[in-house]
Amino acid sequence: MTDPHDPARELPLHALHVELGAKLVSFAGYSMPLNYPEGILKEHRWCRASAALFDVSHMGQIAVRGSEADAALESLTPADLIGLPPGRARYCLLTNETGGILDDLIVTRLEHGLHVVVNASRRTADLEHLQATIGTRCEIDGSADLCLLALQGPAAAAVIERLSGPLAGWRFMSARNLSPSGIDCIVTRSGYTGEDGFEISVASNAASDLARLLLAQHEVRPAGLGARDSLRLEAGLCLHGHDIDAATTAVEADLAWTISPARRAGGARAGGYPGAAVISHQVESGPARKRVGLKPEGRMPVREGAELFERGGAKAGVVTSGGFSPTLEAPIAMGYVDTETLRSGTALVAVSRGREIPITRAELPFVAHRYFKT
């Protein structure tokens, strides 16, 4: 179903997706599976109940190497990367001069340097940004021919254990080198669904063998970008270009936890990243608006772009992600709401297709995370 006028790039697992009957769509310039014949709802529920395999090879994988790699990358983000222990991964934001979010990334410290996973839509821009800002201090390499698979769900750990041996002590946001059936991969216990799970970086020429091996396990079924989106929304996780972008800050986005203690006022390496003054001011005095969870009344989903108003009054914000929660069997959304409105507790309405829908603030995540942290 790919638009013939849109030269969406096919990735190494394309043939497998076609064989599995995927409905393919163009996403950030790549031809990607939206869903398989089971459909988004069943794929979503399977991920929450067992384990789903996602091909997320459209995401960029960049190696940052050299003795100064961590210090250099730290100059672009409020995260502590110098203090990132070997084998650990951290969620980071690349900021601009106004404190806006250029991209959100996962940075992992591997044996030979930092491994950075970036959004597909920001892949080229991030590489250029890194080259331009820290390219003289370290080696920036986005050329490796890699795929990225995500195995997500409560049964994911049992699957990895069966194929690669005991997981003993393997915590959320840490990485290991594994070789299931002799296929070398770098696996991080992380994901974008709220479930326990693993993200697997593997050479493109071995990706199909690995995906088939995983799909041959009775717990595992394929899932596409449709389910990935509804799962991450239930988990209250941000989608760059929608919930966060160059005009939203970490503080507004309720991602201030990504500002490491070492980078905060009074910390060992306070500030020193683009937009630090703006961020630090917002941390102290509070942002003018904040990302919150929202629950529309009734059954009709309220989508991205719907404006929020105080009931019978002024504009109070906007919905940045909205859809239907298969777990709650109800519509859910996230959006930005003025801090004043939040403080006053004034009732809200969303305007969708000219109709006012009462909408209330909800705690995030909508569905509890089940990361393996102990």
Partner 1 sequence: MTETRFTEEHEWLRMESDDVAIIGITDYAQDQLGDVVYVELPKVGADITRGDAVAVVESVKAAADVKAPVSGRVVEVNEALSGQPELVNEDPSDRAWFYKVQLADKGELSELMDENAYREISKK
Residues that bind partner 1 (CB under 8 A): 23, 34-35, 39-41, 44, 226, 229-230, 299-301, 303, 323-324, 326, 331, 353
38 or 195: whose CB is closer to partner 1? 38
Q: Identify which of residues 299 and 343 has a Cβ nearer to partner 1 in the complex.
A: 299
Of 218 and 353, nearer to partner 1 (C-beta) is: 353
Closest distance to partner 1 from the beta carbon of 352 (Å):
9
* Least distance (Å) between residue 230 CB and partner 1: 6
For the bound state, the minimum distance from the C-beta of residue 33 to partner 1, rounded and expressed in Å, comes to 13
Nearest in space to 201 (alpha carbons), one of 85, 114, 124: 114
> Smallest distance from the beta carbon of 341 to partner 1, in angstroms?
26
Residue 311 or 355: the one with the smaller Cβ distance to partner 1 is: 355
State in angstroms the smallest separation of the CB of 238 from partner 1.
19
Beta carbon nearer to partner 1, 36 or 273: 36
CB of 296 to partner 1, least distance (A): 11
Q: Which is nearer to partner 1, 33 or 180 (CB)?
A: 33
From CA 311, how far away is CA 67, in angstroms rounded? 56
Comparing CB distances to partner 1, the nearer of 21 and 165 is 21
Smallest separation (angstroms) from partner 1 to the CB of 301: 5
Cα dihedral 337, 343, 345, 347, rounded to 10, equals -30
